[in-house]
């Protein structure tokens, strides 16, 4: 999934070179910035990639709740991923919130065979701090790759790389903003992807829509966290 049989060779691949390039990416508005071309995920159209903007899912696992982990790592809300390339449902886990499951089902419809309904069986949560990244990998843990992965972005904007079926193919870079949902389906299930950079600078976060919804008395700790972080919730049908 994440590892490479030859780490030295992986460092020389096109995907790894892109990760290093976009890790140093600076927006054009900043003085002296080098700015490789990026696409907007919301307008990127592929047979194997669908993106929808400005959806506001609720009921996800917030920082500090059961299932939360340190920044940059992953944790399940439903089935548990052990790091041994399989899900272990015998470990403690919680039911995916109904609102989140319903959102995933609706978003998965374009990638599902006619008459079949997506079954949200696992939700993996990735927490990113200011300097965190997620290296290029293929999501190969599920038994049936014909079912999509519904990936929700919350918090600071990031760069998302979508490559090919090997690390030797040059990936496409695009922005993902808070509220974006990417549907990984079809050929995308076999493609390397990763996140080399998030933007925590106040003029680059692009989280105003999310901040406007965090005005409650108990929202202050979430607001402080989200201004310097990104949360990705990806929902999967495991079996």
Spatial CB neighbours of 66, under 8 Å, sequence gap ≥ 6: 94
Task: Confirm if 149 and 235 have CB atoms less than 8 A apart.
Answer: yes
93 is in an annotated binding site: no
- Name which of 169, 133, 139, 166 is nearest 20 in CA terms: 133
Task: Confirm if 58 and 99 have CB atoms less than 8 A apart.
Answer: yes
168 is in an annotated binding site: no
Task: Confirm if 196 and 133 have CB atoms less than 8 A apart.
Answer: yes
Q: Which two tokens stand for residue 48?
A: 């194997």
Angle at 27 between CA 233 and CA 230, to 5 degrees: 15
How many other C-beta atoms lie within 10 A of the C-beta of residue 194?
21
- According to DSSP H, which parts of the chain are helical? 7-10, 14-23, 98-108, 208-211, 220-226
The binding site for Fe cation consists of: 137, 139, 193
- Residues comprising the binding site? 137, 139, 193
């Amino acid at each position: 999934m994440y590892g490479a049989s030859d780490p030295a060779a992986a460092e020389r691949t096109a995907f790894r070179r892109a990760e290093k390039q976009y890790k140093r990416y600076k927006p054009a508005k900043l003085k002296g910035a080098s700015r490789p071309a990026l696409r907007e995920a919301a307008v990127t159209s592929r047979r194997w990639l669908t993106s929808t903007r400005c959806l506001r899912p609720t009921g996800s696992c917030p920082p500090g709740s059961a299932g939360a982990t340190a920044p940059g790592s992953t944790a399940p809300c439903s089935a548990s991923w052990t790091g041994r390339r399989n899900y272990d449902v015998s470990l403690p886990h919680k039911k995916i919130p109904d609102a989140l499951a319903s959102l995933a089902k609706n978003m998965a419809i374009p990638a599902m065979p006619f008459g079949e309904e997506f079954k949200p069986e696992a939700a993996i949560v990735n927490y990113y701090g200011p300097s965190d990244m997620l290296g290029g990998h293929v999501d190969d843990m599920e038994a049936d790759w014909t079912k999509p992965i519904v990936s929700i972005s919350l918090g600071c904007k990031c760069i998302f790389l979508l490559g090919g079926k090997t690390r030797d193919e040059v990936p496409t870079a695009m922005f993902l903003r808070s509220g974006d949902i990417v549907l990984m389906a079809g050929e995308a299930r076999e493609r390397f992807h990763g996140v080399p950079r998030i933007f925590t600078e106040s003029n680059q976060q692009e989280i105003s829509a999310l901040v406007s919804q965090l005005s409650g008395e108990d929202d202050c700790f979430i607001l402080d966290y989200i201004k310097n972080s990104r949360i990705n919730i990806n929902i999967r049908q495991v079996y």
